[in-house]
Amino acid sequence: MSAPVLEPLPVDAEVDPAARKRPTAREVLSDIASGGPLRILLAVFLSLVVGSLLIVFTNEDVLDTLGYFGARPTDFFGAAGKAIGEAYAALFRGAVFNYRADSFEAAIRPLTESLRFAGPLIAAGLGIALSFRVGMFNIGGQGQMLMGAAFAGFAAANLSLPWGLHLLVAMAFGFIGAGLWAGIVGLLKAFTGAHEVIVTIMLNYIAVSLITYLMRTPVLHDMDSGNNPTARAPQPTAQLPTILGQDFSLHLGFLLCIAAVFVFWWLMERSKLGFRLRMVGLNPDAARTAGVNVKAVFIVAMVLSGLFVGLAGINQALGRTGTFGPSIDAGIGFDAITVALLGGSRAFGVLFAGLLFGAMKAAGPSMQVQDVAPEVLVVMQGLIVLFVAAPPLVRSIFRFLPEPRVVVRTSAPKRSLRATAAEAPATQAPVAQVDTAQGDGAGDSTATAKKESPL
Amino acid sequence: MTQTLAPEAPVVGPVVVAPRNWKGAIVMAVVAQITLAFALTTGSVEVFFSWNDTGQPAVIPATVVDAQLICLVLAVIAELCAVAAFVFVGMRRKAPLILTFVVAFTFLIALVASVAAGSQSGNIPVVFLLTGTIGLSTAVIFGSLAGVLGERVGVTNIAIEGQLLGGAFTSAVVASVTDSLILGLVAGMVTGALLSMVLAGFSIKYLVDQVIVGVVLVALMIGLTNFFYSAALSGNSEELNFPGTLPFLPIPLLSDIPVIGPVLFDQRPTTYAMFILVPAVWFFLFKTRWGLRIRALGEHPLAADTVGINVNRWRFWTVTVAGLIAGLGGAALTLGSIGPFVREMSAGQGFIALACVILGRWNPFLAASAALLFGFSRNFRIWAGQAGSTIPPDLIAMTPYLVTLIAVAVLVGRAVAPKAVGRPYVKE
């Protein structure tokens, strides 16, 4: 994993009772982020184990051998091993390299497909990650993606512009749609105090109904093409061009999503705005005291979050030659939450999480051919995130894992130290000591504060 | 207040002036204007309120009224209520809740009448509309009860959606395999409780953020049920996914009452359970010692701890009991409705339940009312489609979410959520 993820293990719950007080979403997320590659690998391993059990006990051949398990147990283990081996071989063939293919192009097509699936997951994951780092839960990926896709699709189908410019304009439309939709959430949170979880969930449903409605009307729909809600296909000038030739469907959208990773990294780790965003995420009260307009930050953060999610929607709408319906988001808006969690809300963490989940998505058909229900991959994704989210659980399963580092803490509890870090970056001496203890927490902002001038 | 703090200071003028809160009155006025708009746009056509259950002999003849007239009358009532709300606010008093309900009801009836006026037959099947509303909101009501209990004790339960789905799945499968609907119900409830235990365990023991665990649990349950559905159920639905449904149990005499009888007293056991649970949860929360403890835990766990209540144990078991209710809601989706399990059949009802919790201000009765609004709108969409309404069905589908959004943002806003909700309690 990347550098930010390799932060030292945080002080854990059992070790420091004082640190257990009221962990905020942000603290938990930073805990996940600083988990270290070993724990993520173990989480993946655990989920593979559970996935194997699911595969074994739904496999017909294995269940047949269970009937005479007492007489010949070896049959059972043989059949179980075969079922698992075949399933994971199919996973590999579907996601990475199809060694059974005739040509080299066909053999590496699964890899390009994995990347194609990973693109929108990464972009939407970045959007959700951004909201997490500001201490908000953006569950509204679905609605924002739909709005982005619909706006981009509208411009791509209805405008007539030269090649290149048309694509840019369509993308701009998509960003506007998704950004506005997400901005509603920020506005409501800032000015009415409505909880963003409920607001985003409601906006998801509203977006689905609204876009379905528009996909039945001439706004988006080609009225000569039947009654099913669909949006017109983007014109060739607005489609994202393929980047590996006609044989592969991987298109420019993937590169844009990768670019978004770097934009996200720069925005969150290097820019002044990102510093404010993180400040509010760490401690809104301290940020307010330091002169940050917290309400404005909420709105800006949601709009930015929506822009990243919108890129995923644009990628879906313009990365195709045909029409699309209201299910264009393909569950990415929800998957993005797990991607952001697994990626620890860090740019490169999200990149790797997106690639992993994209590969799992791409492998579905191949698993299906092997008679393994591809939904097992969804279960495994959920389990990975669950295991990663609860470090003590993984540690209690794998006893050999090192205990979290103990740091002698002499001064005030965590929260006030954080406030110090955010409010007065100049007084580093007592704060710097805590860096190792808190992983991402106060240390992060202090480290940044050293480089930048305070707000 | 000033007087108690500083009695020697001379007090000039009124001590405390309650701020006027116009938001509720404004929203009511807007809804009343929309009702008026119905009255003005609806043609003077006769519509029939038929009070009989379909297929039953007519006991009461259908009421024939002029659609425009009834819309006009309803609009006037709504306007009066809105004016009354303004008067109350102007007098710095809280407008009674009944005004909101009256405005909402007049709006809904006017909506139904105007749709019927536009249809061929002009028929309004009152019993169908009401039974459908209850049928479609049962699971949401169970879910919102679980949500109310969870949030009152200080645990945000985003996983209700997963509990409904898990409860629906296991109850259908267990009932099919064991051939016992009772065992199916129990299995559904146990599934809900187990998921609650996972949620509570992770959030209380491992201090993982409750929203995160909830979202992940939902994802996990969608994956698990889909996996088992396509790996096991779809190929073998006769044995594994054919549970049958709970029988209708008409209550003698009461079920013969026109309109009310078929709506309230000729239902499945799960629906009766819902009728009982809503007041039961309310009574439990607000009238018993245990309920007081639970509410204390949600508001101020430190105070509860100080008087000797084991915060985390109480939270764990309350959330688990809430899980039983949510699991029963899942069983209501299968055994209490259509029978077999269908992929992702909860379809976001758990999230709607969560919205109902907030919309209902953490009160079981109000949350159930909010859930009924959702049920009505889903049922209305079906009926409006059949009646040939010109209102686009997608926009009807959108309305309850829009109402919730407006309500959460405008009316509830900084609602009085249990203060400690979502925060794990760690002893100093």
Q: What is the pLDDT of residues B320-339, one digit of tens each?
A: 999 999 999 999 999 888 88
Q: Tell me the sheet residues that pair with A171.
A: none
Q: A54, B227: Cβ pair inside 8 Å?
A: yes
Contact B219 A21 (CB under 8 A): no
In DSSP terms, B47 is beta-bridged to: B65
Write down the pLDDT at residue B330: 92
Is A419 within 8 Å of chain B by CB? no
Cross-chain CB nearest to B426 (options A20, A212, A213): A20
What is the pLDDT, as a whole number, of residue B367? 92
pLDDT at B372 over 80: yes
User: What sign for the dihedral angle of Cα B205, B211, B216, B221?
Assistant: positive
Q: Which residue has the tokens 């709300």?
A: B85
Which pLDDT belongs to residue B283? Answer: 95
β-strand partners of A333: none
Q: Do B209 and A23 touch (CB under 8 A)?
A: yes
Of the listed ranges A45-54, A165-174, B390-399, the least confidently predicted one is B390-399
Contacts of A377 in chain B (CB under 8 A): 223
Please report, as a single letter, which amino acid is at residue B345. M
Nearest C-alpha in A relative to B356: A198
Higher pLDDT, B13 or A202: A202
Cα distance between residue A140 and residue B422, in whole Å: 20
pLDDT(A399) > 70: no
**A265 vs B421 pLDDT, higher one:** A265
H or E, element range at A187: helix A165-192
Across B242-260, average pLDDT:
81
pLDDT recorded at residue A263 = 95
Q: Which A residues in the span 121-150 are in contact with B, Cβ-Cβ below 8 Å? A: 137, 139
Task: Kindly indicate the confidence band of residue A342, based on its pLDDT and cuts at 50, 70 and 90.
Answer: confident
Q: Tell me which of B165, B210, B220, B412 to substitute to probe the interface with A (most A C-beta atoms closer than 10 Å).
A: B220
Residue scoring higher pLDDT (A60 or B177): B177
Say whether A20 and B224 touch across the interface (CB within 8 A): no
Q: Tell me how far CA of residue B192 lies from CA of A76, B42, B184, B323, in angstroms.
A: 33, 47, 12, 4
Residue A131 pLDDT more than 80? yes
Q: Cβ(A13)–Cβ(B207) under 8 Å? A: yes
Q: What is the pLDDT of residue A454?
A: 34
Residues in A closer than 8 angstroms to B426, CB to CB, are 17, 20-22
* Per-residue pLDDT at B103: 86
Query: Can you tell me the distance from the alpha carbon of A105 to that of A191, in angstroms, rounded to the nearest whole number?
Result: 54
B54-81 pLDDT per residue, tens = 666 666 777 778 888 888 888 888 889 8
Q: Can you read off the two tokens belonging to residue A182?
A: 């997400």
Mean pLDDT over each residue of chain B, to the nearest integer: 83
pLDDT at B275: 92
Is residue A276 within 8 A of residue A292, CB to CB? The reply is: yes
Q: Considering only A33-42, A225-234, B219-228, which range has the smallest mean pLDDT? A: A33-42
Q: Extract the tokens encoding A3.
A: 């550098």
Determine whether the interchain pair A337/B215 forms a contact, defined as Cβ–Cβ distance below 8 Å.
yes
Q: What's the pLDDT at A429?
A: 34
Q: For B303, what's the count of Cα atoms within 13 Å in the CB-facing half-sphere?
A: 11
Mean pLDDT in residue range B135-162: 91
DSSP H/E element including A215 = none
Q: Comparing B236 with A157, which gets the higher pLDDT?
A: A157
Nearest CA in chain A to B353: A198
Q: What is the pLDDT of residue A185?
A: 92
Q: At what angle do helices A414-423 and A441-451 cross, to 10 degrees?
A: 10
Dihedral of the alpha carbons of B281, B283, B288, B293, in degrees to the nearest 10: 40
CA-to-CA distance for B175 and B189, rounded, in angstroms?
13
Band (B17; pLDDT cuts 50, 70, 90): low
pLDDT band at A164 (very low <50, low <70, confident <90, very high): confident
The region of weakest confidence among A93-102, A182-191, A444-453, B32-41 is: A444-453
| pLDDT for the residue numbered B180 | 86
Taking CA–CA distances from A132, the nearest residue in chain B reads B212
| Confidence at A421, pLDDT banded by 50, 70, 90 | very low
Whole-number pLDDT of residue A206: 93
| Residue A231 three-state SS | strand
The residues with which B124 forms a beta bridge, in sequence order, are B49
In this model, does residue B202 exceed pLDDT 80?
yes
Res. A425: pLDDT tops 70:
no
Measuring CA to CA, which residue among B395, B390, B394 is closest to residue B43? B390
Inform me whether the pLDDT recorded for A420 exceeds 70. no
pLDDT bin (cut points 50, 70, 90) of residue A7 is very low
Q: Are A230 and A325 in contact (CB under 8 A)?
A: yes
- Among B245, B239, B218, CA closest to B344: B218
Q: What is the pLDDT of residues A427-448, one digit of tens each?
A: 333 333 333 333 333 333 333 3
Give the one of B206, B226, B397 whose C-beta lies nearest to A390's C-beta. Answer: B206
* pLDDT range class, residue A14, cuts 50, 70, 90: very low
Structure token digits, residue B152: 């009152």
- Distance of residue B69 Cα from the nearest chain A Cα, in angstroms: 31
Q: What is the mean pLDDT of residues A43-53?
A: 87
Give A241 or A12, the one with higher predicted confidence.
Answer: A241
Given an 8 Å threshold on Cβ–Cβ distance, is B405 in contact with A206?
yes
Helices A294-318 and A141-158: angle between axes, nearest 10 degrees = 50
Is it the case that residue A380 has pLDDT exceeding 80? Answer: yes
**Between A140 and A16, residue with greater pLDDT:** A140
Give the list of residues 6+ apart from residue A279 with CB closer than 8 angstroms, or none: A286, A287, A290, A292, A422, A445, A455
